Homo-oligomer: A and B are copies of this chain.
């Protein structure tokens, strides 16, 4: 990567590098029109492109925005990433992406990487972990962000605050209404004539999963329901599918050798709630594999309201999180003036659809 330099342009234009710099970038005082034109012409013929590294070194500001997600191919993260990207572009920043895999150790690595590149801001997205085996890495991650912020970096965490970390001062948190929305969803569902509830969650210690679980149980109790049994599985489609096969088998057996259409039976059906949409989709696939129909034999709900999944049949009852907006918010928070505003909050919305027997809305209005 050896392109032409500013001094080459300056020489060709017959001026000093400083003047060339003033012309080519938005310096306070623009040089004379003639000179400016000469410089621009020289730059054009040489195909000059300013070296951002050198500029960064000189100005100590890189225009880089670091984004750390668990998996960029997961629609949850890619939608947030789109929001971040938009905000970044609006501010003239470039996005540095790290798709980690989800462990605090990898996240910490990414933070170090971005800190080394002197990113102006870092955004960390994805569930935290309270698993004991992650305690040390969590501490390292917190320390990394701590130091990054202490050195003047701006940072934001989307979801929950860092686990087991003290107050880090430059660090913002974009609070997601996981608990509240889950409560609302459970309360709404709890008031409907379902026979019983089951919950499908990720492994214990994944904060997002745990918090949504808590919210669900709370909502159920508010609705006068018993606490629901919880199945633990992996926090992805495959986990949902596995549990779907399991639960499907149990329900089918219980409903008799030929469960058939539960709708025909007419009785109330059970309702299974997964802690996110992707798991719910897998769950439904598993239930179907077991010969059950949704919502005739069993109702299902998810969480997130992933856009790509909105044409799914039966339409999935879920709790909508404004993912793209969340990404923008996080980016804005780190990019705008470092006010000591309180932690940002976001609103969600319960979406009742046919997977729990609610009337269908026209797909046009997705």
Most buried by B among A71, A86, A98, A152: A98
Binds B, one of A12-20, A33-41, A74-82, A134-142: A74-82
Q: How far, in whole Å, are A311 and B282 apart by their CA atoms in the complex? A: 7
Known: A1-B118, A120-B1. A62 touches B72 (CB 8 A): no
A337: CB under 8 A from chain B? no
Complex contact A147–B47 (CB within 8 A) = yes
A85: CB under 8 A from chain B? yes
Q: How far, in whole Å, are A72 and B226 apart by their CA atoms in the complex? A: 42
Binary flags per residue of A59-74, CB closer than 8 Å to B gives 1, else 0: 0111000010001111
Complex contact A49–B112 (CB within 8 A) = yes
Q: What is the interface of chain A, defined by CB distance below 8 A to chain B?
A: 1-3, 47, 49-54, 56-57, 60-62, 67, 71-75, 78-79, 81-82, 85-86, 94-99, 112-120, 147, 151-153, 237, 241, 278, 281-282, 284-286, 288-289, 306-309, 311-313, 324, 362-364
Q: Select which of B72, B94, B98, B147 is within 8 A of A98 by beta carbon.
A: B94
Cβ contacts under 8 Å, A237 to chain B? 311
> Besides A53-B57, A57-B57, A73-B75, 14 other CB < 8 A contacts?
A1-B62, A1-B151, A2-B152, A53-B53, A71-B82, A72-B81, A73-B79, A95-B97, A95-B98, A97-B97, A282-B311, A285-B311, A289-B363, A306-B308
Complex contact B2–A151 (CB within 8 A) = yes
Complex contact B82–A94 (CB within 8 A) = no
Among all A-B residue pairs, the 5 with the closest Cβ atoms: A78-B78, A73-B82, A285-B363, A97-B97, A52-B117
Known: A97-B97, A286-B363. A281 touches B72 (CB 8 A): no
Q: Which residue of the partner chain B has the closest CB to A56?
A: B53
A–B Cβ pairs within 8 angstroms, 14 of them: A1-B62, A1-B151, A51-B57, A51-B116, A53-B118, A57-B57, A72-B78, A73-B324, A85-B97, A94-B98, A278-B308, A285-B311, A308-B308, A312-B312
Cβ contacts under 8 Å, A364 to chain B? 241, 289
Q: How far, in whole Å, are A142 and B141 apart by their CA atoms in the complex? A: 42
Q: How far, in whole Å, are A116 and B94 apart by their CA atoms in the complex? A: 11
Q: How far, in whole Å, are A307 and B306 apart by their CA atoms in the complex? A: 14
Q: How far, in whole Å, are A118 and B311 apart by their CA atoms in the complex? A: 42
Cβ contacts under 8 Å, A96 to chain B? 94-97
Q: Which residue of the partner chain B has the closest CB to A67?
A: B97
Q: Select which of B3, B60, B73, B97 is within 8 A of A115 by beta carbon.
A: B3
Q: Select which of B60, B241, B311 is within 8 A of A281 by beta carbon.
A: B311
Cβ contacts under 8 Å, A285 to chain B? 311, 363
Known: A53-B118, A94-B113. A363 touches B241 (CB 8 A): yes
Cβ contacts under 8 Å, A95 to chain B? 96-98
Cβ contacts under 8 Å, A97 to chain B? 67, 81, 85, 95-97
Q: How far, in whole Å, are A282 and B288 apart by their CA atoms in the complex? A: 23
Complex contact B289–A362 (CB within 8 A) = yes
Complex contact A152–B1 (CB within 8 A) = yes
The minimal Cβ–Cβ distance linking A328 to chain B, given in whole angstroms, is: 12
